[in-house]
């Protein structure tokens, strides 16, 4: 007899717990789980400290502190020209993770189909399953991760309720182009489907690429739930301040879940983020420039180690092809890399419904100090040698 409910019994443990634990046990440089190992900006910390000292310490309104909702609406107008009503179209959530759950639980009925691009962020599928929805997968393939019109069109049916898009995309670093988003927008309108766009890496974008907000495309503002959070933009993943932007009707649906799941998020942190979002343009461009330089440094280190990096256009992750090294799969490779080379990475098979599709790849995070990346680069040099001696032991 097991006490665990059937709805969670096949979930397993998230790969992020598993790899961070392995990295800690081997004192490996952790390029696995994506969290910055440098401090976030002082102006953000200071604003939260002041809010605590000013006794902003009781429950926030369920939809979030008014100053934060206004700052979010203002930011959407400033960066994307999207008009947003802070009272009826914004909900402040406990990170983007809660936003994803509340949106899916608030909109998906049992039997509804949800289109998911894979590799996917690992909370999407459990959220759809808990709602009783049926995931339908579109597999993005390296090195371009491009979308084929015919293949995507074939996934839409009368049962499709929702399509989940993540741009810039974790783990591939793909930034969906305006053409790709327009294709999705057309399909959503033809089939009466809602687009849920996870844009948590919206400000981490390289090589002059442009982040396009799905909600700004013609006909999409009333059928899009835009999700973002402060964690990546302000290098404070532990704060868990996220939000949704959606029409009043869609907002009400997700709010019904949000109110009973968390009621509200942490009030003083919301005040901090309200101040932070007003940072000048240079804060955002400096962030992207810093990450672009980290990307180039790590890509070079991976190349020298015998891996083939697939250059990301956004996010703080880089995928690399591990095919040449002779490992049976990505999990064996990442365990070997962590234990024998002292660098942790994430095996991307965790982000595919068919793990074999991720078996020749590994994901590395570059949201780390330059010293950490340099130490990883020094260790990665050992990879070729350790992989060769492993092969030798296996064949004996």
Nearer to ligand GLN, 33 or 251 (CB): 33
Considering only residues 160, 235, 237, 247, which one is a binding residue for ligand PMP as defined by CB under 6 A? 237
Residue span 130-169 as binding mask against ligand PMP, x where in contact by CB under 6 A, dash where not:
------------------------------------x---
**Residue 20 makes contact with ligand PMP by CB under 6 A:** no
Joined tokens for residue 342: 């002292």
Residues 21-60 that bind ligand GLN (CB under 6 A): 33-34
| DSSP codes, 15-30 | HHHHHHHHHHHTT-EE
Question: Does 16 sit near ligand GLN (CB under 6 A)?
Answer: yes
Closest to ligand PMP by CB, 160 vs 229, is 229
In the complex, what is the shortest distance from the CB of residue 274 to ligand PMP, in angstroms, rounded to a whole number? 16
Q: What is the DSSP string of 255-292?
A: HHHHHHHTSS--HHHHHHHHHHTT--HHHHHHHHHHHH
**Is 342 within 8 Å of 9 (Cβ atoms)?**
no
Answer yes or no whether residue 40 interacts with ligand PMP by CB under 6 A. no
Minimal distance in Å, beta carbon 236 to ligand PMP?
A: 10
What is d(CA 116, CA 124) in angstroms, rounded to the nearest whole number? 8
Nearer to ligand PMP, 86 or 231 (CB): 231
Place of tokens 């998230």: 14
d(CA 351, CA 362): 11
Tokens of 347: 């095996």
Please, are residues 248 and 114 in contact by the beta-carbon 8 Å criterion? no
Give CA separation, 30 vs 27, 115, 129, 276, 314, in Å.
Answer: 8, 32, 30, 28, 20
User: Does the protein bind ligand GLN through residue 228 (CB under 6 A)?
Assistant: no
Q: Which does 235 bind (CB under 5 to 8 A by kind): ligand PMP, ligand GLN, none?
A: none
Task: Pull the structure tokens for residue 32.
Answer: 């696995």
* Contact between 284 and ligand GLN per CB under 6 A: no
Verify binding: residue 170, ligand PMP, rule CB under 6 A.
yes
**Minimum distance of ligand PMP from residue 104's CB (angstroms):** 13
User: Omega of the bond prior to 171 within 30 degrees of 0, cis?
Assistant: yes
Considering beta carbons, is residue 206 or 316 the nearer one to ligand GLN? Answer: 316
Q: Is 113 in the site for ligand PMP (CB under 6 A)?
A: no
The distance of closest approach from Cβ of residue 268 to ligand GLN in the complex, given in angstroms and rounded to an integer, is 23
Q: Which does 360 bind (CB under 5 to 8 A by kind): ligand GLN, ligand PMP, none?
A: none
Site for ligand GLN in 316-335 (CB under 6 A): none
In whole angstroms, how close is the CB of 217 to ligand PMP at the nearest point? Answer: 20
Contact (CB, 8 A) for 213 and 82: yes
The CA-atom distances, in angstroms, between 216 and each of 76, 191, 255, 331 are 10, 19, 22, 39
Per partner kind, with CB cut-offs from 5 to 8 A, the member of ligand GLN, ligand PMP, none near residue 96 is ligand PMP
Is 119 a binder of ligand GLN (CB under 6 A)?
Answer: no
The backbone torsions φ and ψ at residue 202, rounded to the nearest 5 degrees and listed phi first, read -55, -30
Residue closer to ligand GLN, measured from CB, 170 or 226: 170
Considering only residues 162 to 221 of the shown chain, the ones binding ligand GLN according to CB under 6 A are 170
Beta carbon of residue 381, minimum distance to ligand PMP (angstroms, whole number): 29
E strand intervals along the chain: 29-30, 90-94, 113-118, 134-139, 160-166, 194-198, 224-229, 241-245, 308-310, 317-321, 343-344, 361-365
**Contact present, 236 and 272 (Cβ < 8 Å):** no
Looking at the Cβ atoms of 203 and 240, the one nearer to ligand PMP is 240
- Mapping DSSP to helix (H, G, I), strand (E, B) and coil, where does residue 343 land? strand
Residues that bind ligand PMP (CB under 6 A): 95-97, 121, 166, 170, 198, 200, 229, 231, 237, 240, 242
Residues that bind ligand GLN (CB under 6 A): 16, 33-34, 170
């Amino acid at each position: 007899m097991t006490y665990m409910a059937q709805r969670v019994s096949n979930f397993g443990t998230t790969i992020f717990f598993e790899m961070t634990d392995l990295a800690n046990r081997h004192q490996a440089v952790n390029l696995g789980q994506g969290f910055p190992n440098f401090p976030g900006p002082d102006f953000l910390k200071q604003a939260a400290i002041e809010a605590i000292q000013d006794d902003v310490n009781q429950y926030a309104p369920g939809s979030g502190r008014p100053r934060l909702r206004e700052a979010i609406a203002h930011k959407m107008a400033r960066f994307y020209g999207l008009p947003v009503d802070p009272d009826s179209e914004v909900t402040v959530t406990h990170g983007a993770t809660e936003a994803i759950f509340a949106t899916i639980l608030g909109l998906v009925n049992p039997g509804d189909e949800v289109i998911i691009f894979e590799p996917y962020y690992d909370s999407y599928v459990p959220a759809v399953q808990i709602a009783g929805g049926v995931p339908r997968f579109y597999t993005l393939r390296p090195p371009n991760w491009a979308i084929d019109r015919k293949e995507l069109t074939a996934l839409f049916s009368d049962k499709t309720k929702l399509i989940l898009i993540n741009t810039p995309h974790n783990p591939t670093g793909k930034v969906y182009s305006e053409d790709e988003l327009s294709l999705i927008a057309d399909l959503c309108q033809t089939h009466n489907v809602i687009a849920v766009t996870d844009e948590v890496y919206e400000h981490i974008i390289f090589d002059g690429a442009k982040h396009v907000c799905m909600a700004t495309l013609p006909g999409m503002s009333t059928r899009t739930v835009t999700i973002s959070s402060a964690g990546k933009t302000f290098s404070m993943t532990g704060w868990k301040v996220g939000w949704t932007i959606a029409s009043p009707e869609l907002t009400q649906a997700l709010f019904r879940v949000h109110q009973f799941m968390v009621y509200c998020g942490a009030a003083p942190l919301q005040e901090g983020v309200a101040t932070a979002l007003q940072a000048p343009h240079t804060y955002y461009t400096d962030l992207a420039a810093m990450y672009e330089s980290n990307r180039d440094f790590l890509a070079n280190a991976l190349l020298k180690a015998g891996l083939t990096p697939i250059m990301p256009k956004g996010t703080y992750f880089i995928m690399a092809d591990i095919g040449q090294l002779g490992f049976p799969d990505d999990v064996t490779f990442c365990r070997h890399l962590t234990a024998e080379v002292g660098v942790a990475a994430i095996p991307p098979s965790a982000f595919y419904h068919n793990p074999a599709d991720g078996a020749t790849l590994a994901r590395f995070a570059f949201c780390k100090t330059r010293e950490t990346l340099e130490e990883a680069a020094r260790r990665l040099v050992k990879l070729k040698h350790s992989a060769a001696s492993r092969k030798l032991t296996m064949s004996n």
